[in-house]
Structure 1
Amino acid sequence: MKNASPPRSERTRQLIIETAAPIFNKKGYVGTSMSDLTTATGLTKGSIYGNFKDKNDVAMHAFQHNIGLIFDFFTKEINSAATTLDKLLAYPRGVRKIYRMVLAYGGCPILNTSVEADDTHVALRRMAVDALSRWKARIVDLITCGIAEGVIDPTVDAPKTAEILIALLEGGIALSKVTGEASYLLNAIDMAEKQVVGLRLGQ
């Protein structure tokens, strides 16, 4: 028996989210207009408002979509890694794999939203903070696991190390995006990889 296709309304809603996601990431909440969304989707303003309450609602779903893409990618990278250290290395190595696409997409959605929404959009800021917290928690869990396995130095400060890794990667993306020079990010990735390798017990 074939699976039933999603209702047309659900397909339209998903189309709006997927089309709006890169626009909001590049132009931000304030910079994105309803005309941007109608032009990109080919839908009328009424069609968009028939699926979402307002632009704010579209923006929040678009951010969730962008974050979902990021977390899904890194979850697959981590799950394909054999050891705990390799799972930690999946973050810088994963960024190295997709950095051109990330820069073309407008940069990291977490960073972009954090900067824009910091003083202007409480709900989006909260969502960005939550995404960062989830990322940090995942790294902390991997480091803690590595310590328990006896492969990571037990004196390592897991939360501090997680924050450093995130700051290196996010900072590299931001500087490469604004300058157009990939070297900022590639050097940050190299440093992040050295940081992870340096966690190994006996280094």
Structure 2
Amino acid sequence: MMLTKAERTKQFILETAAPIFNQKGISGANIDDVLEAAKLTKGCLYGHFESKEDLSLQVVNYMLKCNGSKLATAISKGKTAKGKVFAFFDFYKDPLDTHIKGGCPVMNIAVESDDNYPAIKEKIAATLRSGQELFVSILNEGIEDGEFSNRLDSEIYAFKAFAAIEGAVIICRSMNTAKPMRGLIKNLKEELESFAI
């Protein structure tokens, strides 16, 4: 399906604004940053977005959709439950080089929206819940297929792995090194393999 000129312009604005919002946050990013990066006028931007709040919400939607799509593509390359989980881990192997400049958009948005943006906080909570549910369902699929022992508590492992990976993204970016992430991923893979049948 071909996009109209207006739809292409709006998409361009979202793509241009995403790294700005991901790096500066919702509070720190401003309309002038987006206008300068996109080389557009205020009139053009406001022809597509009602306000900064509307732009912020749509940029968040765009970043979550983009992140979810790239993660789903990575996971889908795994042919087994273990392969899918390992693909999830490998998606995060270099926290200094993220697909949207500035780190993991899910964590960045989650931290900022916690107390300040209730509508965005709800979107992030839904994204985190669905991510956890997917992770658990992959592990349960592995148990049902006889790939993993039923000693594996899929909910606990999924939560621990997800929390560790997301926390490691923040720590690695703060310390400007991917090395701890590589060690963490290796450890998480070894733990999962200890449940292999």
TM-score, with length taken from structure 2:
0.93
Asked if 1:160 corresponds to 2:156, the answer is yes
Q: Is contact 2:18–2:100 with CA below 8 Å preserved after alignment? A: no
Matched, 1:64 2:58: no
Give the match's secondary structure for 1:25: helix
Moved more, 121-130 or 176-185: 176-185
Q: Is the alpha carbon distance of 1:66 and 1:196 closer, same or farther for their aligned partners in structure 2, counting shifts above 3 Å?
A: farther
Please state whether the residue corresponding to 2:92 is helix, strand or coil: helix
| Partner of residue 23, structure 1 | 20
- C-alpha distance in structure 1 between counterparts of 2:193 and 2:69, whole Å: 24
Deviations 1:67-109 (A, max 9, x none): 222222222222222211111111112222x534218811111
Q: Name whichever of 158-167 and 21-30 sits farther off.
A: 158-167
Q: 2:123 aligns with which of 127, 147, 150?
A: 127
1:52 corresponds to 2:49: yes
How much identity, in percent, do the aligned residues show? 27
Greater mean deviation of Cα atoms: 44-53 or 183-192:
183-192
Unaligned runs of 5+ in 1: none
Could you list the runs of 5+ residues in structure 2 that have no partner in the other structure? Answer: none
* 1:21/1:66 contact within 8 Å kept: yes
Q: CA deviation at 1:194?
A: 2.1
The CA distance in 1 between the partners of 2:193 and 2:110, in whole Å, is 29
Distance 1:69 1:192 in 2: 26
Deviating more after overlay: 117-126 vs 52-61: 52-61
Q: Which residue of 1 aligns with 2:101?
A: 105
Partners of 1:54 and 1:144 in 2: CA distance: 44
User: Partners in 2 of 1:68 and 1:104 — Cα distance?
Assistant: 12
How many residue pairs were aligned? 197
Structure 1 residues 74 and 195: alpha-carbon distance in aligned structure 2, compared to 1, 3 A threshold: farther
Q: Give the alignment's Cα RMSD to 1 decimal.
A: 1.7
Question: What is aligned with 2:181?
Answer: 185
